Structure 1
């Protein structure tokens, strides 16, 4: 009897230590969140030379992570670094002074400059932020005239863009852009640890095939809708709050698992609701309250959601709630895609290509997660029933950290 009690006590100690380690790991994961920037190159030709107007955009929160701390005359320093990170094959000189636009409300830093070149560009090279973050990706759009534009994904493996082909073949340019956006969609999922964590949460909650298919279907429908709305500029959400909501959705999935597997789930829901309301009051009192209305709505939604979860609803509840969460993640997918812009002729191909890449990435991630969970289920270890609650606790920890960090 003493041996059994001793084993249980030891396991609880190990479980507590693992939770602490997972929390520490979650802080490190945040520091490696997806890093992206965008640029638009517009060409104007006259009799004497070629003018190229360049606009470079990056999220301010992303920039702060790459170049922290942003103090002193940081705008000129960062602008000089960005401009010097791009080179062309033509003999180009910068005309006039660069222009800077910083918006903390929109979470945007943009620097624009004009190049005067002796001929049209045939090659663009960049090393922008790759030396700061090897996982950084840069999307560039090149506009030669109103009927000719194309896009390129730059990574640490692909730093050169050969533009010769786009002048001779518009069709090959469009096809190349389509492939780039498929690859971009795959990369967006594979480096988006918050989206991967959410997918893992869906699998943890829906380990039966029917429920899993319904949940993935709902998530796909939701994010496809808002991805399209964001890219078409029909809806302009607040990027920083959307990123915070993505973290919150991960925490909610973990809480849902713990509630569904708790004997006293109603007490669980009440205590969590009290905690959420207390945190909301703290935010309202000690902050400027810019997101107070959104957070109040989030509190009401969370209370209703967790109460419904405690009722153990049918499989179609997974379809519905995954669709709701998909709407949030879709804005996360599409918000950045809107920044670079693209021609109206290519809009459908671009949307389809990127969405296809996202779906391929999701299937690859889900396949890997299924193999991991299947492998764990086959392990011959004691107290195996604690593994899933431990994973759910990790999701709550990770999602809560992302939410709090991004909302303040």
Structure 2
């Protein structure tokens, strides 16, 4: 009987010893420390995280004798911590790493740099390290210093955000107007759609009606999507924008004498509005300046569109007045090139 009890105890001890590593794989109640300071157009973030918990979250063992890959850690940090400078999300680069012992625990120390376009008036930290994937009881003691102000908070599962500063109305309007301009001039699919519309415009009055219809339509859906009243899947929106380019390009190729109607610009403008809202969804819009942000962004887009129309439409009118025969192939040939771009974008976005 004693032998039996002894054997059972050995078996239980063996099972316990095998389970011990997995039981202690998590640190539980892990801690972290954040110190964010803004120096001119640079934001510096000193982040300290429990070394064992960080390794567990990344499925990689870490100790003070091992050098952890800063690129892998950098990607992990950027995917779990979002910092917004004046509503714009920024990403950091790890400058250096170290291991530090705090209260008999080892911590990974990471110094990250964030390059800014200008000195921010407002900074928001959205913290999600460990909270959803490895240690819901994790807490981070955070301090943010900006323009002589200091804000402190304990970030946890229930409270993940720290905010300091406030953007003034003028700075906010200027920022979003420039963002709208940048978005239209780097949104090549939107530019090609507008040019395709211009190919089917016969008079100044016609182009005014087309641009007006397109503007009203995309302004409606831009507002609805940004305010989260109506939202559509990003892939669907981007694919539909590519289809709008294909559709109008085909009309220009096979019926070059057709006159585009405002309803066409309005219908596709509704889809393009959701596309314009995509960039705003990546930002943390200030609730106090929501209307100003939307209006300024839209004005920036309209200024960009007017510049495109002012440059392209006179050239189109000039080409149509030329009697040189090969000129008749310029618009169909350009439309064919636009069609190819639309097809490539559609295939990329669907598949």
Partner of 1:210: 205
Change (3 A) 1:382 1:365: same
Shift of 1:372: 3.1
Show the counterpart of 2:236: 241
1:105-138 superposed Cα distances (whole Å, 9 cap, x missing partner): xxxxxxxx96834x62239xxxxxxxxxxxxxxx
Residue equivalent to 2:182: 187
1:301: which partner in 2?
none
Change (3 A) 1:398 1:51: closer
Task: Return closer, same or farther for 1:51/1:194 CA change in 2, 3 Å cut-off.
Answer: same
1:70 is matched with none
Q: Larger helix proportion, structure 1 or 2?
A: 1
Distance (whole Å) between structure 1 residues aligned to residue 325 and residue 162 of structure 2: 59
Q: Give the match for residue 318 of structure 1.
A: 261
* 1:200 equivalent in alignment to 2:221: no
SS in 2 for 1:120: strand
Inter-CA distance 379–248: structure 2 relative to 1 (3 Å threshold): same
CA contact (8 A) 1:203 1:212 kept: yes
**Helix, strand or coil: the match of 2:330?**
helix
- The answer for the alignment partner of 2:145 in structure 1 is 120
Query: Aligned partners of 1:376, 1:115: CA distance in 2, in Å?
Result: 66
Q: Please, what is the CA RMSD of the aligned residues?
A: 3.8
What SS does structure 1 have at the residue aligned with 2:311? helix
The yes-or-no answer on 1:350 pairing with 2:345 is no
Deviation at 1:195, TM superposition (A): 0.5
CA distance in 1, matches of 2:162, 2:297: 18
| More deviation, 385-394/197-206 | 385-394
Quote the Cα distance in structure 1 between the aligned partners of 2:244 and 2:132: 32
2:218 touches 2:272 (CA, 8 Å); kept in 1?
Answer: yes
TM-score (norm 2): 0.57
Equivalent positions of 1:358-397 (< 5 A) are 358-377=301-320, 381-397=324-340
1:397 and 1:115 mapped to 2: Cα distance?
Answer: 53
Would you say how many aligned residue pairs link Structure 1 and Structure 2? 233
- Gaps in structure 2 of 5+ consecutive residues: 1-33, 38-42, 44-68, 79-90, 94-111, 120-124, 134-138, 149-160
Question: Which of structures 1 and 2 has the larger relative contact order (alpha carbons within 8 angstroms, sep 6+)?
Answer: 1
Q: Does 1:228 align with 2:223?
A: yes
Q: Matched residue of 1:206: which SS? A: coil
- In structure 1, the partner of 2:157 is none
Indicate how the Cα distance of structure 1 residues 367 and 233 shifts in structure 2: closer, same or farther if over 3 A, else same: same
Return the offset for 1:83. 3.2
Secondary structure of 2:210's counterpart equals: helix
- Paired position in structure 2 for 1:86: 113
> Which residue of 1 is the match for residue 274 of structure 2?
331
Task: Name the structure where strand makes up a greater proportion of residues.
Answer: 2
Distance 1:375 1:116 in 2: 62
Measure the CA separation in 2 of the matches of 1:233 and 1:115: 32
> Using a 3 Å threshold, how does the CA distance of structure 1 residues 101 and 174 change in structure 2: closer, same or farther?
farther
Once the two structures are overlaid, the 10-residue window that deviates more, 253-262 or 187-196, is: 253-262
Distance 2:163 2:182 in 1: 24
